[in-house]
Amino acid sequence: MKAKYKTLGLKKGASQKEIQKAYERLAKKLDPESNNNEPFFEEQLVKVEEAYEALSQHFISSNKDGGDFVGDLPTGKRGGKNKHIGDDIPVKELNWFLKIFTIGDKFSLQDFFDRAKKMVVEFFAIFFGVFLSLAVDQKREDSNHRSDNINNMKKLKVELQDILVYTDEYIEGVTWFYDLFQRQYDRWGENSDSVFLDIMGEGDESYAFAPLSFYEQAMPYDPPKVAYESVQLDGTFRFLDDTLEHELTQIYSGSNLFYIKENAYARDQAIVDDFVSRISDRWVEELGDVKTQYNYFWEENRKYIQNDFYVNHNVFRRLENFNQITNQLLEHKASVEGAISLLDSILKHKEEEIEIIYWVVDFDFLHKE
């Protein structure tokens, strides 16, 4: 028995309290977990526990009041290898919270922590799995939209080029009528029966015609806009550069286009309507049979027409309107050309991007200083 006291670092005859304190101190000092689970400390702890058990039984047998001695001391390392406080606690001794995490008839703190770590790992695995799945779905949808938007921008570019062609042809038509009516206006006072006739063609294929017989033709300016309306509906505008979006809005529905249409059709038609009203209200009444489609009408009535200063001024007004239309169309054309150039640069940038699965990689930063 003396050796047991020595194992605990005590002298023979030490009190229960001294034995308890010695055991607690050595159990903490020799704890395998605190000493990297080295076998030496585990062996020493077993010896300390055996000495403690022996001295405990000695006090129980020699002292009737010593029955609670063992139970009153910490049991954290009793039984030897790597056991923790609270291991294998019967379920009936647990509170309701720990019972939730208990499988079987005993609670193990180590098992509780192991299962808790497993649950945390599984939770994050599921969370990131769902997050990645949603991210991929979103990227796939964005990729599809990106492809559709690029195709729409290409269609928009084609339509802008069509607008350029349409505008050039319209300007060409306005210029032809302007030159025709300008020659007529300049010759208005000539003393010639053919003053209201002009020659078209050359040589044997030439023929005379009355320029004012074409006067009733008005030309509305109505460029194509199917692709633009499609882009507005499907949300491609969100994909466009702000500057380009502004340019396109001005081209298709801006104030400049409004005034072009106003001058090209509404105002020009009003001038033509005044000319037609003058013929029906005055010429028919004073000349009788008015047949402006025939050259002889303009030859026989040329003095009467020359003295009609209302019609003369009407031609002057139309020439001024043609000038204004042409200038506005040239400005409009420059805007269309600018939009095409900007759209080209955006498309080139998009085509240089690399799409890896559904993620777009922009290498443009490599070119920046």
Could you report the average pLDDT of every consecutive run of 10 residues in the chain (369 residues)?
81 84 87 83 86 81 51 43 48 59 59 74 73 50 63 89 95 95 96 94 91 91 88 68 83 88 88 96 94 95 96 97 94 93 85 57 43
pLDDT at 187: 96
CA–CA dist 212, 315 (Å, integer) = 9
pLDDT at 265: 83
pLDDT at 110: 66
Strands 198-200 and 106-107, by their bridges, are unpaired
* 209 contacts 197 by C-beta, under 8 angstroms: yes
Residues 159 and 77 grouped into a single domain = no
Q: Which of 28, 48, 83 is the last residue of a domain?
A: 83
Asked if the structure places residue 104 within a domain, the reply is: no
pLDDT at 44: 86
pLDDT at 235: 65
Asked if the structure places residue 137 within a domain, the reply is: no
Residues 212 and 315 grouped into a single domain = yes
Q: Is the pTM of this model over 0.85?
A: no
Q: Which of 67, 83, 99 is the last residue of a domain?
A: 83
Of the candidates 350, 353, 351, the residue with the CA atom closest to the CA atom of residue 366: 353
Helix (H) or strand (E) holding 325: helix 309-352
> How many structural domains is the chain composed of?
2
Q: What CATH number does the domain containing 13 carry?
A: 1.10.287.110
Residues 72 and 197 grouped into a single domain = no
Give the 3-state DSSP-derived string for 143-192, with helices as H, strands as E and coil as C: HHHHHHHHHHHHHHHHHHHHHHHHHHHHHHHHHHHHHHHHHHHHCCCCCC
Residues 321 and 172 grouped into a single domain = yes
Residues 64 and 176 grouped into a single domain = no
| Bridge partners, 198 (sequence order) | 209
pLDDT at 136: 46
DSSP-based three-state secondary structure for 254: coil
242 class by beta-carbon count within 10 Å (0-12 exposed, 13-18 middle, 19+ buried):
exposed
Residues 178 and 306 grouped into a single domain = yes
Give the angle subtended at the CA of 237 by the CAs of 146 and 334, to the nearest 5°: 115
The domain containing residue 319 runs over which residues? 148-367
Asked if the structure places residue 155 within a domain, the reply is: yes
Residues 198 and 274 grouped into a single domain = yes
Residues 301 and 162 grouped into a single domain = yes
Asked if the structure places residue 264 within a domain, the reply is: yes
CA–CA dist 208, 198 (Å, integer) = 6
Residues 210 and 343 grouped into a single domain = yes
Asked if the structure places residue 142 within a domain, the reply is: no
Asked if the structure places residue 31 within a domain, the reply is: yes
pLDDT at 184: 96
Residues 211 and 330 grouped into a single domain = yes
CA–CA dist 25, 83 (Å, integer) = 17
pLDDT at 305: 97
Asked if the structure places residue 132 within a domain, the reply is: no
Residues 314 and 239 grouped into a single domain = yes
Q: Which of 36, 56, 83 is the last residue of a domain?
A: 83
Residues 291 and 186 grouped into a single domain = yes
Asked if the structure places residue 208 within a domain, the reply is: yes
Dihedral of alpha carbons 64, 68, 70, 74, sign? negative
* 109-186 and 242-253 helices, crossing angle to 10°: 40
